[in-house]
Amino acid sequence: MATYSNVIWDWNGTLFDDVSACIEAMNMMLGRRGMPKLESVAAYRSVFGFPVQDFYRRLGFDFSKEPFADLSAEYNPIYHQLASRAHLFPGAEATLEVIRRGGVRQVILSATQMDNLISQISPFGISGYFDEILGLPDILAASKIELGKQYIARVRPQRTLLIGDTVHDKEVADALGADCVLIAAGHQDRLILVDRGATVIDSIADLADIVL
């Protein structure tokens, strides 16, 4: 019998390796403004976080001069063009298959706008692994906690594990009453994840033993 009856997956940085696309897109934005660029993946992971507005502020954006909604509208088309070349993390589909064979319900819960989320997932042919795909209604990357609460209230799963790659995913799991595992291959540094008391692993391939 599986340890969990329900697995909630984050998408970006957990199943979908879009870190390089995010860095390149943000560096294009910063370059247009003559602002210091992110020099490495490590530099990006050390400053990224939710709410996304705070991430922009840490990079030097001034919302009194450029509203966050305008910056998001500029960033998203750049990012999505670059992310079209991104791939799933190695072992992602194999892990989804193993968990499905264990009879565990799987869903995606993402802060990505729903239409964009579907367009990213579709090319990989993995939609069939998921009972539901849950994304946000706009491009502002707000918290997905309320969306997750609605899902839990509707489905009432017996025991849930949330799998993500950021501190915010741990916050979402706590709000949903779910266990949490964070993978230190995505958008935040491993030390940041460990500091929040999360269970942290280095590869998606390590998940099957935890879930089952």
Looking at domain 6-17+88-211, does it have CATH number 3.30.70.2700?
A: no
Tell me: the pLDDT tens digits for 179-206?
999 999 999 999 999 988 789 999 998 8
Strand spans (E) along 20-171? 87-88, 105-113, 132-136, 160-164
Please tell me the distance from the alpha carbon of residue 115 to that of residue 89, in angstroms, as a whole number.
21
Is 142 buried (19+), middle (13-18) or exposed (0-12) by CB count in 10 A? middle
Cα 56–Cα 202–Cα 163 angle in degrees, nearest 5:
70
For residue 3, what are its two tokens? 């340890």
Helices 52-59 and 68-83: angle between axes, nearest 10 degrees: 90
Enumerate residues 6+ apart whose C-beta is below 8 A from 77.
Answer: none
Note whether 183 and 201 are within 8 A (CB): yes
> Quick count: other Cβ atoms within 10 Å of Cβ 125?
9
Average pLDDT on 142-165 reads: 92
Percent of the chain with pLDDT over 90: 86
Tell me: the pLDDT tens digits for 58-77?
999 999 999 999 999 999 99
Please tell me the distance from the alpha carbon of residue 62 to that of residue 194, in angstroms, as a whole number.
31
- Residue spans of the domains in the chain: they are 6-17+88-211, 19-83
Model's pTM, two decimal places?
Answer: 0.94
